[in-house]
Amino acid sequence: MAHHEHDHDFHIPGNSLWSPLSCIGVGLLAFGLIAYLHAASFGMPQLVGTVMMLNGAAITLFGAGKWMYDLVMESRERGFDKKVEVLDIANRYGMLFFIVSEIMFFAAFFAAYFFLRSHAFVWPPENIFTLDIALPTINTLLLLTSGATITIAHHALMDNDMLKAKNYTFLTFTIGFVFLGMQMLEYSHALFDMDSGVYGATFYMLTGFHGFHVLVGSLMLVAVWKRMNNGDFSPQQHFYFEATAWYWHFVDVVWLGLYLTVYLM
């Protein structure tokens, strides 16, 4: 109803090209993966699949990026000096339930891990040379530290100390990227591979998916930092920061689970 005022605070946007556009991207990504994996049976070079996947990823990121840009612009239009209660609740619920779905995804892989491990005669299986505990321990300390730094940033944000909030956010994603570097270092040392039986399969799928989530979380933190530099957020209104912090803590907790089960136990 363009012609009269709303009697509600819900955000009802107009038509948007960006969400269906990112659907095209995701679709192309899926078709590209099929073309890549089965290039031989389709009688075409793998390059076709690769190009499709790259284009699909680019379109997805473009669509999603434009969509996120719209969201940022709309939140700037509303301003950060007061909180729109119903929108804030919707966003919080949305992020919370998204994390719930992520937990269930990891639960499937943890379930596979425990099932296979409890059905194995010996664990680790014979001929598996497990990794040294030093690197993952350092990684655990890194992630725990990053959990503290993001909290310090949050407190600084609530005290309206934007410089401190920015710096600690910067520190947090830096730790995230260092973690990823360490993880790559560890992968390069490992004497087993994804095809080394169930040990390799569970190890790489669990730590790999976790690593991917660290990457996503770090990129979200970079976006938080950029928005802080642009003067977004206020002590009352900083949902995007909080959502990212929640996500970061979730990634952190998954790692603790991994460290305890995959590395220590």
Interface residues toward other proteins, by CB under 8 A: 1-2, 6-8, 10, 12-20, 22-24, 26-27, 30-31, 33-34, 37-38, 41-42, 67, 86, 89-90, 93-94, 97-98, 100-102, 104-105, 107-109, 111-112, 115-116, 119-120, 125, 193-202, 204-205
End-to-end CA distance of the chain: 60
Is 197 or 235 the residue whose CB approaches other proteins more closely?
197
Instruction: Compute the least distance from the CB of residue 102 to other proteins, in Å.
Output: 7
Beta-carbon count within 10 A of 220 CB: 19
Is 158 or 253 the residue whose CB approaches other proteins more closely?
253
* CB of 64 closer than 8 Å to CB of 36: no
Residue 205 CB contacts under 8 Å (≥ 6 apart), including other chains:
109, 194
Instruction: Compute the least distance from the CB of residue 175 to other proteins, in Å.
Output: 27
Is 25 or 147 the residue whose CB approaches other proteins more closely?
25
Q: Residue 223 is encoded by which pair of tokens?
A: 């976006």
Is 119 or 163 the residue whose CB approaches other proteins more closely?
119
Q: Residue 234 is encoded by which pair of tokens?
A: 């206020």
* CB of 247 closer than 8 Å to CB of 99: yes
Instruction: Compute the least distance from the CB of residue 220 to other proteins, in Å.
Output: 17
Q: Residue 117 is encoded by which pair of tokens?
A: 């491990």
Q: How far is the C-alpha of 205 from the C-alpha of 127, rounded, in Å? A: 20
Instruction: Compute the least distance from the CB of residue 18 to other proteins, in Å.
Output: 8
Instruction: Compute the least distance from the CB of residue 141 to other proteins, in Å.
Output: 29
